[in-house]
Structure 1
Amino acid sequence: MPVGLPFQLQDYLELVDWSGRCLREDKRGTIDEQLPPILDRLQIDPRHWLYLNRNFERRFKSLVGAAHSVRSVCEQLGKRWAHGVRDCERYFSPLITS
């Protein structure tokens, strides 16, 4: 088995998204066809997705998410900082569209 996915990341993401939109009687929920693709909804740059999957546990030790959310939770918990908050800024910041 090759290391990683045996096809391009974009093709894999399209396949996962398409699969989640399939309607089946034995399937409890589906992705509404009107919703944008998952990475768009989560505001994750597709270029970062594969990196995050391979390095998630190494980059993040506790809290993960939008940097402003991580900082807010740290404040609520009385923590001065969270390991990985800079990576949260880098990988979970909203997409910039031109």
Structure 2
Amino acid sequence: MSIKKQYLKSKPICKVTFAITPEDDASQVSVVGSFNKWNAEANPLKKLKNGTFKGTIDLEKDNSYEFKYLIDETVYTNDEEADALAWNDYAGAENSVITV
């Protein structure tokens, strides 16, 4: 798992690249979070030949966002390289947090 941040000089935006290599042979992975209202269809990641799923999302600077990866529409997982973890009472679990 990895997260890369690229801040734009011309706009208050940070391009965040999410990458995950699921342990099982997954067919689809999405990033769901507070930035897309936890919509699994909003930010699907592209599967690369090596089995890694990768995608870039533009996020507004000076904000923190909670997120998780959704693997094959059934398994939610956090990113070990997230900036922090935050407890979510609704889910009864921790979410990854990214601050840009």
Q: Compute the TM-score of the two structures, normalised by the length of structure 2.
A: 0.22
Q: Which has the higher helix share?
A: 1
| Higher Rg of the two aligned structures | 1
Q: Compute the TM-score of the two structures, normalised by the length of structure 1.
A: 0.22
